[in-house]
Amino acid sequence: MCFISPDNDEEQEVLLALDKPGWYSQGNSTHLYELLKRMTGKLEPKVVYFGDSMHSDIFAAHHYSNWETVLILEELSGDHVMFPTETESEPVEKRGKYERHHPKALNCASKQWGSFFVDAISGKEGAEEILVNTWSCKCISAHSTITIPSIETIADLPLDYRFTRFSSSSSVTAGYYPKPPRSLLLSVEPMATK
């Protein structure tokens, strides 16, 4: 299968190399990896895959292709109220619809389901509740290299910036950038895993 360059919503030429910047479709990870080998001259080129879906982006890229993965998890911004900076460059009527109002902060804890990262289970016979990592939290650290709230969070970092990564030997909070979710930090003490 070859990559195709879509032009004006119509697929155009079949590309044998990704020699021009832009958008490509119809390829697959195996073909992309072979193209990267040819283009870089390296036997094992490094690939970092960005995605916002644990199921269709991160798990697949990590499990099937063994690529480095960056999970974009908007819920990480739920710990902070984020306000866009006001600019005087354009009048209010010319700004986009999302620039006019302050965005509502996302919430990483649901009233119905609880925390996205940490859950409390009842102790036996009146014992205290035990805090455990949720399935989602476990999947994040198992299948993503790092997790960020948005691309903008890392856009201004130098190219040689070294992130603290998730690994089996590191803390469960290690791979979150710029910082771990508050609920996870509060529960790190004695932590069990479901």
Tell me the two tokens of residue 60: 């697949």
Helix (H, G, I), strand (E, B) or coil at 187: helix
Averaged pLDDT for residues 48-57: 93
What pLDDT, on the 0 to 100 scale, is given for residue 34?
85
Averaged pLDDT for residues 127-131: 78
Tell me the two tokens of residue 179: 């910082």
pLDDT band at 85 (very low <50, low <70, confident <90, very high): very low
Which residues, other chains included, contact 188 with Cβ-Cβ below 8 Å and sequence gap of 6+? 171, 172, 173
* Higher pLDDT pick, 122 / 194: 122
DSSP lists the bridge partners of residue 51 as: 71
pLDDT band at 97 (very low <50, low <70, confident <90, very high): very low
Residue percentage of the chain with pLDDT more than 90 = 34
Tell me the two tokens of residue 150: 């948005």
Q: Which of 110, 102, 117 is nearest to 147 (CA)?
A: 117
Which residues, other chains included, contact 146 with Cβ-Cβ below 8 Å and sequence gap of 6+? 70, 71, 163, 164, 165, 166, 175, 176, 177
- Looking at the predicted structure, is the pLDDT value of residue 100 above 60? no
Domain coordinates in residue numbering, the chain: 1-45, 48-193
pLDDT band at 81 (very low <50, low <70, confident <90, very high): very low
What pLDDT, on the 0 to 100 scale, is given for residue 102?
44
* Higher pLDDT pick, 39 / 72: 72
Averaged pLDDT for residues 47-56: 93
Residue type, 92: V
171: left (phi over 0), alpha (psi -120 to 50) or beta: beta
Give the count of beta carbons closer than 10 Å to the beta carbon of residue 45: 15
